[in-house]
Amino acid sequence: MKKVLLLTPPYHAGVVEAAGRWPNIALVYIAGHLRRAGHLPVIYDAMTKGDDLEEIRRRIAAEKPDCVATTAYTASINAALDVLKAAKEIDPRIVTVIGGVHANFCHEELLKANPCLDFVVRGEGEETFPELLAALEAGGDLPRVRGIAFRRGLLSGSGKNTPEESGPPAVVATPPRPFIHDLDSLVPAWDLVEWDDYTMFVIPGSRLAVVNSTRGCNHDCSFCSQQKFWERTYRERSPENFVAELIHLNRTYGVDVAMLSDEYPTRNRRRWEKILDLIITSGLKVYLLLETRVEDILRDEAILPKYRQAGVLHIYVGVEATDQETLDRFNKRIKCEESARAIQLINAHGMISECSFVLGLPEETQESVQRTLALAKRYDPDFAHFLHIAPWPYADMYGELKDYVITGDYSKYNFVEPVVKPAGMSVEEIGQALIDCYREFYMDKVRHFHRILDPFKREYLLLSMQVMMRNSFLKKHLGGMGKIPEEVRRYLNEPAV
Ligand code: B12
Ligand code: SF4
């Protein structure tokens, strides 16, 4: 049996975290499967706790784990490596492991450049990680473990290349592991979650879970990597299994808000409607937050009242760009008018609409930013996010953008710091243009809050605006946001009802 400390890296972009504290569900699943294989997993969500590297060091030393494992997307990869380095410094015998989207694609460069990293788990980790530990315990037939990567020297037990080899260490990547066929068979370790840590600030007193009902996406948006990670496959949990889990989380841990981590939860209309029906008949009272595609909202117009009745509160639709040419370039396969209509429908059915608009492509100009802002206002979602394009090195768009990329520091690949410089704008100009979009969009919004009749929605929006201005990355730009009109300032300072 191995003691495995599963931890999130201490990375903070200052965006989503402003709205709440969210559990890391990948680690919850991995922990469940390690435990089933007889190991002792401990989940330590250092990111959510706001612990710095020193605090993390203390915790690793105190836990005395055999293995420290972490997860990373591109923005958090440096922080994740810092944690693994700290683990090796505390005790070089600690086996270090990383999983998640960035390591999946960049395993070779990571293993070559970071002696503190022993293993990359590629793809889904639930079966691979316990098998890796079993192989290590048995003395190591590592090449037989599908879905991992490691330095060749590890096979000889030295952790280094053999003396006759020169140059950077060679990396062995074993064949990929097929995806898990039956998602209902997964065993997330919900009991290992420190539930008191998780809440959504805009629903005071709430207890927040992140859940997963499907994995994968069959679309091809060129800036995205999720569909590549899941190799354009799509798997679903049964409605009964998923709703039973929501009920369990609600009854056992008091969860009353759940964010679906699915890339695309509503793809199968029949299944999705069954989920809504089961929730409604069960009488479960859990708010659901989800992301989906514009065309599904249009498809589901007739059943949107059911969405609301089942607790769907907040829907993020990937609008991404406001002119058709850019949408086509992103391969979104949607029309601008469809996005506008989807947002209207979400609003009309009493739910909160959110969408994002990508800025900073090479041909961006002050005029095109203004056009995006004008259209964002016309679409009128409750929340608009203006994001700097972030070309993950493994996304299809990377090739097209690489000549305009201004930094290789992945910690900036977080949508809020410019990493691409448009040909006709300076970095400062595109940076300021994004802040200006936020200011223009939200100054208008806040002025109209008092017209919202639904008191819950009014309070939710007001509180969201407050946390955004007080806690998010925007706080440090408030000086650059110009004078905030007195009427708006009053709203933002007002205690929420
Ligand atoms: C939940 C979530 C979060 C949570 C994370 C909570 C936490 N405590 O860590 C919150 C809301 C905080 C968050 C924040 C951010 N996020 Co986020 N997030 C997601 C989301 C919606 C779901 C991820 C998930 O749970 N998937 C379900 C699980 C089961 O799948 P999985 O994570 O891939 O895990 C499997 C495998 O990868 C593997 N695995 C993963 N980790 C590990 C570790 C080990 C040891 C092993 C063995 C295996 C393993 O096994 C798992 C089970 O099979 C995804 C979008 C999406 N739909 O995937 C974006 C996503 C991951 N986020 C993203 C980004 C960019 C961010 C932010 C930078 C956004 C921002 N500007 O604020 C921030 C950064 C965090 C910060 N602290 O500032 C991007 C990453 C893009 C990229 N390729 O790098 C994504 C893909 C969204 C997108 N489409 O752009 N996020
Ligand atoms: S952005 Fe959404 S719909 Fe497009 S490929 Fe990525 S996960 Fe799929």
Whether 53 maps to a domain, the answer reads yes
294 Cβ inside 6 Å of ligand 2:
no
State residue 446's pLDDT score.
83
**Residue 157 binned pLDDT confidence (cut-offs 50, 70, 90):** low
Ligand 2 atom 3 nearest Cα: 219
* Residue 145 covered by a domain: yes
Atom of ligand 2 nearest to the CA of 320: 1
Report if residue 168 sits inside a domain.
yes
Domain boundary among 173, 190, 208: 173
The pairing of strands 3-7 and 234-236 is unpaired
**Residue 376, domain member (yes or no):** yes
Instruction: Name which of 227, 41, 25 is nearest 129 in CA terms.
Output: 41
Q: What is the structure's pLDDT at 64?
A: 98
What is the C-alpha to C-alpha distance for residues 14 and 475, in angstroms, rounded to an integer?
A: 9
Taking the CB of residue 172, how many other CB atoms lie within 10 A of it? 17
pLDDT of residue 114: 97
Identify any residues that bridge with 173 across adjacent strands, giving them in sequence order.
149
**Are 137 and 286 contained in the same domain?**
no
Q: Give the Å distances, CA to CA, from 342 to 94, 221, 353, 438, 461.
A: 50, 19, 9, 21, 19
Q: Do residues 308 and 434 share a domain?
A: yes
pLDDT of residue 425: 97
pLDDT above 90 (res 310): yes
Q: What's 39's domain CATH number?
A: 3.40.50.2300
Q: Is pLDDT at 253 greater than 80 in this prediction?
A: yes
| Ligand at shortest distance from the CA of 296 | 2
pLDDT of residue 167: 63
Q: Is 264 a residue whose pLDDT tops 60?
A: yes
Helix (H) or strand (E) holding 68: strand 67-71
Three-class SS state of 193 = coil
**Do 145 and 294 fall within a single domain?**
no
When mean pLDDT is compared across 15-19, 73-77, 386-390, 449-453, the lowest value belongs to 449-453
| Gap between the Cα atoms of 174 and 266, Å rounded | 34
DSSP 177: P
Question: Does residue 204 share a domain with residue 158?
Answer: no
For residues 152-180, average pLDDT: 73
How high is the pLDDT of residue 205? 96
Q: Find the helix or strand (DSSP H, E) in which 352 lies.
A: strand 352-359
Q: Which residues contact 115 (CB under 8 A, 6 or more apart)?
A: 88, 159
Question: 307 with 332: CB under 8 angstroms?
Answer: no
Helix locations, 50-174, DSSP H: 53-63, 77-90, 101-113, 128-137
Q: How confident is the model at residue 491 (pLDDT cuts 50, 70, 90)?
A: low
Residues in the chain, overall count: 497
Task: Read off the tokens for 125.
Answer: 């980790």
Of 135, 157, 173, the residue that ends a domain is: 173
Q: Which residues pair with 467 in a beta bridge?
A: none
**Does the pLDDT value for residue 464 go beyond 60?**
yes
Of all helices (H) and strands (E), which one includes residue 226? Answer: helix 226-229
258 & 319 share domain: yes
**Which of the four pLDDT bands, split at 50, 70 and 90, describes residue 13?**
very high
Q: What residues make up the domain containing 54?
A: 3-173
Query: Is a pLDDT exceeding 50 seen at residue 497?
Result: no
> Of the spans 38-47, 147-156, 225-234, 475-484, which averages the highest pLDDT?
38-47
Contact 296, 335 (CB under 8 A): no
* Residue whose entry in the numeric block shows the structure tokens 């997963």: 212
- Determine, yes or no, domain membership for 217: yes
**Digit-coded pLDDT (tens) for 82-132:** 999 999 999 999 999 999 999 999 999 999 999 999 999 999 999 999 999
Strand partners, 287: 257
Q: Looking at the structure, do residues 35 and 142 belong to the same domain, yes or no?
A: yes
Q: Which atom of ligand 2 is nearest to the CA of 224?
A: 6
Evaluate if residue 482 carries a pLDDT over 70.
Answer: no
Cα angle 66, 67, 69 (rounded to 5 degrees) comes to 160
Evaluate whether residue 496 is within a structural domain. Answer: no
Report the amino acid identity of residue 8.
T
pLDDT of residue 160 exceeding 60, the answer is no
pLDDT in tens, 129-143: 999 999 999 987 899
**Ligand number nearest to the C-alpha of 230:** 1
- Tell me what the pLDDT averaged over the chain comes to: 91
Banded pLDDT at 173 (limits 50, 70, 90): very high
Q: Identify the pLDDT of residue 166.
A: 59
Which residues, at least 6 apart from 408, have a Cβ–Cβ distance to it below 8 Å? none
Q: What is the CATH number of the domain that holds 329?
A: 3.20.20.70
* Strands 95-99 and 234-236, bridge-based pairing: unpaired
* Domain edge (last residue) among 412, 443, 474: 443
Q: Collapse the DSSP code of 257 into the 3-class scheme (helix H, G, I; strand E, B; otherwise coil) and give the result.
A: strand
Could you identify the residue written with the tokens 């020297």?
153
For CA atoms 78, 82, 87, 88, the dihedral sign is positive
CA atoms within a 13 Å half-sphere pointing along the CA-CB vector of 386: 28
Tell which atom from ligand 1 comes closest to the C-alpha of 395. Answer: 83
Percent of the chain with pLDDT over 70: 90
Indicate if the pLDDT at residue 483 is higher than 60: no
Total number of domains in the chain: 2
3-state secondary structure of 301: helix
For the chain, the first-to-last Cα distance in angstroms comes to 51
Shared-domain flag, residues 323 and 358: yes
In this prediction, residue 11 carries a pLDDT of: 97
**Which ligand has an atom closest to residue 388 CA?**
1
- Name every residue whose Cβ is closer than 8 Å to that of residue 456 and which is 6 or more positions away in sequence: none
pLDDT digits 0-9 by tens, 22-50:
999 999 999 999 999 999 999 999 999 99
Does residue 330 lie within any of the structural domains? yes
Mean per-residue pLDDT, 321-344: 75
Q: Is the pLDDT of residue 327 over 70?
A: no
Give me ligand 2 centre to Cα 390, in Å.
Answer: 15
Q: What lines the ligand 1 site, CB under 6 Å? A: 8, 11-13, 15-17, 22-26, 29-30, 45, 47-48, 69, 71, 73-75, 97, 99-102, 121, 124-126, 129, 210, 212, 224-226, 261, 263, 392, 414-416
Q: Are residues 79 and 140 in the same domain?
A: yes
Which of 427, 373, 378, 382 minimizes the C-alpha distance to 405? 427
The structure tokens listed for 409 are 């520091």
Instruction: To the nearest 10°, report the CA torsion of 257, 276, 464, 26.
Output: 50
Residue 467 lies inside a defined structural domain of this protein:
no
Assess whether 311 and 426 both reside in one domain. yes
Within this chain, do residues 390 and 244 fall inside the same structural domain, yes or no?
Answer: yes
Mean pLDDT to the nearest integer, 159-173: 66
Percentage of the residues of the chain whose pLDDT score is greater than 90: 75
Verify whether ligand 2 is closer than 6 Å to residue 331 (CB atom). no
Cβ–Cβ under 8 Å, residues 62 and 68:
no
Q: Are 198 and 21 in contact (CB under 8 A)?
A: yes
Tell me: do 257 and 109 sit in the same domain.
Answer: no
Query: Do both 435 and 296 map to the same domain?
Result: yes
Task: Answer yes or no: is pLDDT of 403 > 80.
Answer: yes
* pLDDT band per the 50, 70, 90 thresholds, residue 222: confident
